[in-house]
Amino acid sequence: MADWSDCLNFGISIAKQARKIVLAAFQQQKDVKLKSSPADLVTETDQQVEKILIAAIRRRYPDHSFIGEESVAAGERLELTAAPTWIIDPIDGTVNFVHRFPFVAISIAFAVNKETEFGIVYSCVEDKLFHAQRGRGSFLNGEPLRVSGQEDIHQCVVVTEIGAERDDLALSTMTSNIFRLLQLPVHGVRALGTAAVDMCQVAVGGADAYYHIGMHCWDIAASAIIVQEAGGVVTDTDGSDFDMMSRRVIAASSAAVARSIAQVVQAFPCRRDDLEPSNTCV
């Protein structure tokens, strides 16, 4: 099995450099543009950080491929092949970034043969660097991570997001999912505004589960392996195997909790990320 530690270490080093750019812009006035909805925003910093990350990786690994949120938004084809591929969200939590709400992350995943080999999530304002490598565990600022191990859904804190989809079907489905979870009951439902950091809360044991419908592969590819390497379970919202392109995910402290959530939540139809157009729900 190939050792991708050099790529991981390089990814961590460029994430640290990119964090400086994000922090420098965090308190500044932003030039904000809309993408797919009034809740789907992009700033010059998103675009700048992605360009810097891809340029740095391309200089070091010229034969590698890329999937970047802003590149796809600009019209580049989203295609995950067997080639070594970096999956990049330059700022996960752009709405938070615009409003200076302090949960903003750089997310970098690396896949080979369509399987994620490592993931990096840097929660910039908190200065929390999460990373995981397949078979080698998950870490926060160098310290090992472990999920809570909770198996009783009634004892859980669950994290989710309303997301960028704001049509009637999406909104009614998402809000009714929260309603059904609270009726179980669970201890509480939380939202931080960034899927990558949300999922990492499961890895650290601060939350027991996360679920969402409608996010994209760059939002969750890195954090999914961080949860898995911390001993957690990652599935589709219907309980089937996780597919980063499906735009549906449950991350949980145990298989029992994942099953309980899969029995309650419903999905609204969303076009897969690897179909065109990649950023539109149907």
The predicted structure's pLDDT at residue 276 = 66
The yes/no answer on whether domain 5-144 falls in CATH 3.30.540.10 is: yes
Contacts of 36 (CB under 8 A, 6+ apart): 164, 279, 280
Which of 91, 108, 213, 225 is the catalytic position?
A: 91
Residue 1 has what pLDDT?
62
31 part of the active site: no
Catalytic residue among 43, 45, 94, 173: 94
Distances (CA, A) of 53 to 82, 104, 166, 185: 21, 16, 31, 43
Q: Per residue of the chain (282 residues), give pLDDT as tens.
A: 689 999 999 999 999 999 999 999 999 988 888 877 777 788 899 999 999 999 999 999 999 999 998 899 888 889 899 999 999 999 999 999 999 999 999 999 999 999 999 999 999 999 999 999 999 999 999 999 999 999 999 999 999 998 888 899 999 999 999 999 999 999 999 999 999 999 999 999 999 999 999 999 999 999 999 999 999 999 999 999 999 999 999 999 999 999 999 999 999 999 999 986 544 444
To the query of whether residue 94 is one of the catalytic residues in this protein, the response is: yes
Q: Is 14 annotated as catalytic?
A: no
Query: Which of 46, 50, 165, 219 is labelled catalytic?
Result: 219
Which residues, in sequence order, are CB contacts of 12 under 8 Å at separation 6+? 120, 129, 131
Tell whether the torsion through CA atoms of 177, 175, 104 and 94 is positive or negative.
positive
Residues in the chain: 282
Q: Is position 46 annotated as part of the catalytic site?
A: no
CATH topology of domain 153-264: D-Maltodextrin-Binding Protein; domain 2 (3.40.190)
Catalytic residue among 46, 70, 92, 198: 92
Q: State the maximum Cα–Cα separation within the chain, in Å, rounded to a whole number.
A: 52
The Cα 39–Cα 19 span in angstroms is 23
Query: Token pair of 263, please?
Result: 């029995």
Domain with CATH 3.30.540.10 in the chain: 5-144
23-210-225 Cα angle (round to 5): 70
Euclidean distance between CA atoms 223 and 73, whole angstroms: 21
pLDDT at 113: 96
What six digits make up the tokens of 63? 């034969």
Give residue 41's pLDDT. Answer: 81
Instruction: Identify the active-site residue in 89, 198, 236, 273.
Output: 89
CA distance 111 to 77: 17
Domain with CATH 3.40.190.80 in the chain: 153-264
Per-residue tokens: 6: 């050099």
91 is catalytic: yes
